[in-house]
A and B are shown apart, each in its own frame.
Chain A
Amino acid sequence: MIGLLDYGAGNLRSISQAFTYLGFKTRLISSPDEIKRISRLVIPGVGSFGPAIIQLRKRNLKPLIDEWISSSHPLLGICLGLQLLTEGSEESPEEKGLAVFEGKCKKLTAKKVPQIGWNRVQLIKEDQIFQGLPEPVFFYFVHSYSLMNISSSTIAITEYGQAFSSVLRQANIYACQFHPEKSGEAGLLFLKNWVEKC
């Protein structure tokens, strides 16, 4: 069972439908006791960094994620979910992130922000989550901030104005800046690999 963290940051329908289409069961996780029933956790989300962190605290979900991470259960952060796993964001400097990944998110520097559309994801490390994807591979992005740090956890990068980390991995924790649930067949394969191989 895959838990989708429900902390009020956007619509969880598309991600849940993508997993359902792939034949995996999901449930929404909105309180700490529900987490016992799941084996994988997804932190989805669109919206702003600050309000998201505040919601996590309000709903008492922050300790739950911290514990999930320290017991190294499988986790996938998507879009804002990736940003929450960094040390923080320029978008809301007063709030701290979950600090799994090094660095803070910064505003994109390209002419048109937010980045809306399909962009190339260049794999810089081999990983089972990429297995079977075509080359070059494109995913669908919608975001104004991203993690410009390219650290030892970065497994793929994307160029938009400048390069940023588009997929990261630290042990059992994965994160992607794009929306796999909106990235067609490549996105579905990425999600399937995460469930079956990661």
Chain B
Amino acid sequence: MLTARIIPCLDIDEGQVVKGVRFRNLIPVGDPVSLARYYYLSGADEIIFLDIGASVKSRKVMLEIVEKISSQIFIPLTVGGGIRDLEDIRNLLLAGADKVSLCTAALQHPGLIKEAADRFGSQCIVLSIDAARVGSGWEAFSYGGSTPTGVDAVKWAKEAEKLGAGEILLNSIDRDGTQTGYDLELLRAVSEAVNIPVIASGGGGTLEHIYQALMEGQADAVLLASGLHFGRLTIQQVKDFLRQKGVSIR
């Protein structure tokens, strides 16, 4: 039986790990290589890096960071943020990323998911959906959660699976950085709609929140950022708690 994965997420702006609330008010929290190595040794099952600067300079620094990290961390590395085309994906994979996460570019050109999956394999294509509650459903947003697209988040997840995405990284814009718990309804709606792993993101603040995301939300993995970076939670603590609750954990 597969174990639930605990995935630290490092938002990176020009080489520094930063963290904001509801995608805003970024504050620096440390050096990506040493933080990633620390999480690796503490039992992280995977690590995700999001380049939120997405400027030319930020992109270049990101490649250097991925190269450095992949020579000393031996768990899967996912990199996202500002990826536009197959060439960007290829460069990241060659630098040592195992997976890339696509968001805005895939919304603008869904065919990119298929092209990328055909060329590099579904296993390395993660579709990231930034979703916010609109009316009775959820809408996918582009450009770091700033731009509505009119696309229904659950339908988008299903379409992405058909196009060849290997996993869905599901971020709740409403909950990002708030520590008030994951959007469980959103999680469940997407998890029930697709047959690929769903990673819960946005809102995890307590051990109970994480447990809820895996149980009620039916997520396969949880992404953690603020809670870990600011020391409110440790990976060991999360894993011990989940194990006690009977969740299969590495």
Contact = CB atoms under 8 A, between A and B. Distances in A.
Interface residues of A, number: 32
B123 A116 contact: yes
B223 to A, nearest CB: 14
Interface string A94-105: 000000000000
Nearest to A136: B250
B11 interface: no
Nearest to A111: B195
Interface string B62-91: 000000001110111000000000000000
B122 interface: yes
Contact of B2 (A20, A21, A118, A184): A118
B93 A117 contact: no
Interface in B84-138: 93-94, 96, 98, 121-123
Nearest to B123: A142
B94 A11 contact: yes
Contact of B71 (A17, A47, A118, A187): A17
B201 to A, nearest CB: 16
Contacts of B2: 115, 117-119, 160
A80 to B, nearest CB: 10
A72 B71 CA distance: 31
A155 to B, nearest CB: 20
A90 interface: no
A140 B3 contact: no
Contacts of B40: 184
Highest count of chain A CB atoms <10 Å: which of B76, B195, B220: B76
A181 interface: yes
Interface in A21-59: 21, 46-47
B166 interface: yes
B74 A116 contact: no
A63 interface: no
B176 interface: no
A13 B96 contact: yes
A14 interface: yes
Given A11-B94, A17-B96, A117-B221, A188 B74 contact: yes
Interface string A156-198: 0001100000000000000000000111110110000000000
Interface in A58-80: none
B1 interface: yes
A93 interface: no
Nearest to B220: A117
B3 A13 contact: no
A1 interface: no
Contacts of A117: 2-3, 5, 45, 197, 220-221
B13 interface: no
A123 interface: no
B196 interface: yes
A118 B121 contact: no
A21 B197 CA distance: 30
B96 A182 contact: no
Interface of B: 1-3, 5, 40, 45, 70-72, 74-76, 93-94, 96, 98, 121-123, 166-167, 195-197, 220-221, 250
